[in-house]
Amino acid sequence: MSAPAHRLTPEDLLSAATGLLAAEQDPLANMANLSALIFEALPDLNWAGFYLYRPHAKAPATLFTLASAAPSGQPEASSSQGELVLGPFQGRVACTRIAMGKGVCGTAAQTRTTQRVADVHAFPGHIACDAASASEIVIPLVAQGHLLGVLDLDSPRKDRFSPADQTLLETLVTTFLATLPTA
């Protein structure tokens, strides 16, 4: 499948994502396809993908329901512990692991708030996985009070991401989270 000749409107992107996610129950497959859809649909991106939260540096490679819950009898790790590990994405080779609170992704994960950065070079502690990146937006994935990871988009254009983009991407994340198993 080749990239579309024209970019999708926000409404079309949300509709396409909703249909795509409804057709599959596997979170990994949905993250892979959602990354590809966003990368193809939004202009001026050089990276779109997910980082998954691991509460402990040596946490097993599980997806969300096990990775986000503490082992029985133990409290959940605080958001200052653990790390983000590379998940499905589209774009150039990326950083594999990001510490909580480090860079834009680690900050979004630790604070559990969207980070929309107009100039990544002015962001304290920015991690330059791709020197071409000039702006970035990162949306945390939080379900039932558990941090699951982040959705990260980079652009080679400064000030690429608008408040409308933020709203759209947060809606896409909410749509994705609604497809996750609750057990």
> CATH says 10-177 is which class?
alpha beta
pTM score of the predicted model: 0.86
> Model confidence over 63-80: pLDDT tens digits?
554 344 444 333 344 456
String of DSSP letters for the chain = -PPPSSPPPHHHHHHHHHHHHHT---HHHHHHHHHHHHHHHSSS-SEEEEEEEESSTT--S--HHHHHSPPTTSPPPPTTSSEEEEEEEEES---SEEETTSHHHHHHHHHTS-EEES-GGGSTT---SSTT--EEEEEEEEETTEEEEEEEEEESSTT---HHHHHHHHHHHHHHHTTS---
> Model confidence over 92-108: pLDDT tens digits?
999 999 999 999 999 99
